[in-house]
Structures are given as structure tokens and as C-alpha cells.
């Protein structure tokens, strides 16, 4: 049988700085490639109706997006996969494949998560592990609870997809194959749980070292006192991406990627202003119109990490640190990030780039630009 790599080699290639899709369409990006060495990206996220900015930023920077991987975090993977397909289709970007990820975290379950909250206090945002709420689902919320097969059609403000995810490959398998196809050139981006990435690491011991980098949205530190201010502050300070699957986060941040970049606290500081949102939604393209559903009360979490990956020169301040994620269940710090200097770090940890600050003016310019003039397939 013809291998997946052979198929992809004929359908995802670069010609004259234009990206050739799996359906022989070209992907037009506003930015041209800056060198002969193409930058590739796989974006792993719990996709939602307004989660398109990360891949638009990557495309706007001239990166070739090899695919979107879906995962369980804010809601279950069946729903996030459909959202990923729907937002690509809505923006004429369905030439980018979507690969379904793992349904369940490595160890964490709905029951285990609820028990942990009984022992150590509840969190404001519980993601997929919030109790089922059929009323909220009927009003447009994504499904939660203990049934990963639920689909809430009312949540698809972007439209229900008419296309399907790539068949025959899990997200982890896709990542492993693409990293080996383009050794040293593939950026792995994660803005949901790290289950797929941890699975790829366990599938192939050379996966991490063969990638270019890992960029993670998550890894908050020293926010406990801040969380006392309000329910929203508690939400902002809770690291749900890590709490959904602490073991996967631990595996990922201690794996031998050539570079690991953490967009933690810095992502909590970036907010879209109403005036900027008004400018964006005055445009009539599909993505600009979908931004009418964007909640500006919450930070630009995923977008910050994606911008750091796409435009690394945005970073104005960072610190080299050694990092791990707490996996102890009998502890209020389950899923919490811990940082050390090299002198005091545990022997199993590895160095990460912990971003402290970015050029906010340039960041918001990039966000506005890719929403005003988004990439598309043709």
C-alpha cells in the first residue's frame, strides 16, 4: 500500500513560495518566504469557532502549516476536530488537513478530576471535565461531562463542516511522520492538552529531537495570590491545558526537543481592545466576521504563543529555566508548573525558554493584519 508519506510528498510541497495543498490548490499567504529553508508547523489545539488566529499567524509569517491536530481540553476531541474542520472550511483553507487526536488524557478521567476537586478545591474552568449541562449545550456551548461522543451542533457558529478529518492516522502518528519527513524544520505548537505530543514522544524516541521546536501555551507560575481577586482571576490563573493531562505535560516539557518555548504568564497579559475588534469586524471576510463572537474579556492565550512561534523576534524578554509539571494527585498543585535555575534543577529536567515579555505593538499589528488579509487556498 502506498505510504502516507508518499501521498503527502506529492500533495504538500513548496513551489515558487506557494504552498501546494493535498487537493492541488495553492495556499496564498500575504507574506513571502524569507529563505530557501521552509519553516513548517503542526498546530495542536482544542479548536473552537474563533480559534483560527494561530494558524493565520503561522501562514502570515510564511510558514507552511502541515496540519491541525485536535485534542481534548476545553471540550472533547470529537467536537474540537469538527471545529477545526469548520473554521478551515469557512475561511477557504480546507487544503490544510485536520488530524484527530487522542480522546482521553493519559491518566486523568472525568471521575478522577472531580475527585481531585473535592479534595483540593474547585477550578472555575473545568473544560471537558465540567459536569454535563444540556441546557448550556442547547444555547451554544460545547459538550462537557463524561461522554466524549457528544456533539453539540448549536456551538458551530462558524457552520457545521462538510469535510472530514484525515483518515488512517492519529495526530501523534502524523506528527512523527512529518517530523521525519522534514527533520529539524517542523515547529510543534500546542495550545490545548499535550496528550497528542506525549503520545508521539512515546511512539518514537527520536520524535522530539528530530523536530525543530516545541512551543507551548501554558505554564503559569506564581499566580495563586492573584487568583483570590475574582472568579475570572481564578480562571485565568488555572492552567487547564496542563491540569487536563498533567502526565502528558510532564512528558512533553522534559523531552529532548532542540528548543522548548513557554508562553505562560505573558499570554495572560494580551487583550484585544474593543476598538481593534471593531476595526477587524468592519471587514467583510469570513474570519473578520467570526470575530464578532470573540470574548475580549479573556486574554489572547493561544494567539500569543502562535505569534511567538511565527515571529520569534517579538520576544523582548525571556529567561532560561529548567521546568517540570506536578503530577502528584494528592496535592493542590496538580498540573502546576515549577521552574528552577540550572544549579538547583532536578536531573531529569531540561532547559526551556520562558517568555516574559513581547513587543505588544508588533504583536497586535500582526493579529490585525492576518485577520484583515487572511491566507486562503485557491
> What is the percent of the chain with per-residue pLDDT over 70, rounded to a whole number?
90
Residue pair 241/287 in contact by the 8 Å Cβ criterion:
no
As a whole number, mean pLDDT of residues 78-94 equals 99
Question: To which residue does cell 463572537 refer?
Answer: 293
Question: How many domains does the chain contain in total?
Answer: 1
Residue pair 63/195 in contact by the 8 Å Cβ criterion:
no
Q: Which three cell numbers stand for residue 40?
A: 513548517
DSSP H or E stretch at residue 8: helix 4-11
Q: What is the length of the chain? A: 378
pLDDT digits (tens, 9 = 90+) for 331-364: 999 999 999 999 999 999 999 999 999 999 999 9
Rg (CA), the chain: 19
As a whole number, mean pLDDT of residues 174-202 equals 99
Q: Give the chain's count of helices (H) and strands (E).
A: 15, 13
Q: Using CA atoms, how far apart are residues 364 and 271, in angstroms rounded to an integer? A: 9
Question: To which residue does cell 512515546 refer?
Answer: 202
pLDDT digits (tens, 9 = 90+) for 294-312: 999 999 999 999 999 999 9
First to last CA, the chain: 30
Distance from chain centroid for Cα 365? 21
Whether the predicted pLDDT of 25 surpasses 80: no
Whether the predicted pLDDT of 325 surpasses 90: yes
Q: Which three cell numbers stand for residue 62?
A: 510564511
Q: Which three cell numbers stand for residue 66?
A: 502541515
As a whole number, mean pLDDT of residues 260-285 equals 98
Q: 29: pLDDT confidence band, cut at 50, 70 and 90?
A: low
As a whole number, mean pLDDT of residues 62-83 equals 99
pLDDT of residue 28: 58
pLDDT digits (tens, 9 = 90+) for 208-222: 999 999 999 999 999
Question: Domain range spanning residue 266?
Answer: 4-377
SS3 (DSSP) at 299 = coil
Give the CA count within 13 Å in the CB-facing half-sphere of 47: 30
Residue pair 58/43 in contact by the 8 Å Cβ criterion:
yes
Q: Using CA atoms, how far apart are residues 8 and 6, in angstroms rounded to an integer? A: 5
Q: Using CA atoms, how far apart are residues 334 and 142, in angstroms rounded to an integer? A: 25
Of residues 150, 172, 190, the one with CA closest to residue 305: 190
pLDDT of residue 37: 84
CA distances (Å), 290 to each of 71, 156, 196, 370, in order? 22, 11, 28, 14
As a whole number, mean pLDDT of residues 143-172 equals 97
293: domain CATH number is: 3.90.245.10
Q: Which three cell numbers stand for residue 179?
A: 517530523
pLDDT of residue 27: 64
Amino acid at each position: 500500500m502506498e505510504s502516507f508519506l508518499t501521498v503527502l510528498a506529492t500533495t504538500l510541497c513548496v513551489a515558487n513560495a506557494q504552498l501546494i495543498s493535498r487537493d492541488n490548490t495553492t495556499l496564498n499567504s500575504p507574506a513571502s518566504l524569507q529563505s530557501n529553508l521552509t519553516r513548517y508547523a503542526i498546530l495542536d489545539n482544542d479548536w473552537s469557532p474563533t480559534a483560527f488566529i494561530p494558524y493565520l499567524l503561522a501562514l502570515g509569517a510564511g510558514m507552511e502549516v502541515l496540519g491541525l491536530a485536535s485534542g481534548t481540553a476545553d471540550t472533547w476531541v470529537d467536537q474540537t476536530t469538527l471545529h477545526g474542520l469548520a473554521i478551515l472550511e469557512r475561511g477557504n483553507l480546507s487544503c490544510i488537513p485536520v488530524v484527530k487526536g487522542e480522546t482521553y488524557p493519559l491518566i486523568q478521567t472525568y471521575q478522577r478530576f472531580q475527585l481531585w476537586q473535592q479534595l483540593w478545591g474547585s477550578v472555575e474552568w473545568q473544560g471537558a471535565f465540567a459536569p454535563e449541562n444540556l441546557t448550556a449545550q442547547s444555547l451554544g456551548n460545547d459538550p462537557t461531562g463524561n461522554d466524549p461522543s457528544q456533539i453539540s451542533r448549536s456551538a458551530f457558529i462558524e457552520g457545521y463542516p462538510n469535510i472530514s478529518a484525515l483518515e488512517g492516522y492519529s495526530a501523534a502518528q502524523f506528527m512523527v511522520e512529518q517530523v521525519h519527513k522534514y527533520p529539524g524544520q517542523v515547529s510543534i505548537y500546542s495550545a490545548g492538552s499535550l496528550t497528542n505530543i506525549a503520545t508521539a514522544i512515546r511512539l518514537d524516541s527520536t520524535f522530539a529531537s528530530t523536530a525543530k521546536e516545541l512551543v507551548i501555551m501554558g505554564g503559569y507560575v506564581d499566580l495563586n495570590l492573584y487568583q483570590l481577586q475574582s472568579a475570572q482571576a481564578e480562571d485565568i490563573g488555572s492552567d487547564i491545558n496542563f491540569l487536563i493531562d498533567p502526565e502528558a505535560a510532564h512528558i512533553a516539557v522534559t523531552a529532548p526537543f532542540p528548543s522548548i518555548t513557554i508562553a505562560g504568564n505573558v499570554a495572560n497579559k494580551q487583550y484585544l481592545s474593543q476598538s481593534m475588534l471593531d476595526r477587524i469586524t468592519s471587514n467583510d471576510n469570513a474570519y473578520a466576521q467570526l470575530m464578532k463572537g470573540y470574548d475580549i474579556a479573556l486574554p489572547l492565550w493561544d494567539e500569543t504563543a502562535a505569534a511567538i512561534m511565527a515571529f520569534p523576534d517579538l520576544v523582548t524578554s525571556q529567561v532560561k529555566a529548567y521546568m517540570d509539571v506536578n503530577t502528584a494527585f494528592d496535592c493542590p498543585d496538580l498540573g502546576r508548573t515549577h521552574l528552577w535555575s540550572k544549579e538547583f534543577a532536578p536531573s531529569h529536567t531540561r532547559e526551556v525558554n520562558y517568555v516574559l515579555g513581547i513587543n505588544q505593538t508588533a504583536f497586535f499589528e500582526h493579529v490585525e493584519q492576518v485577520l484583515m488579509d487572511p491566507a486562503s487556498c485557491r
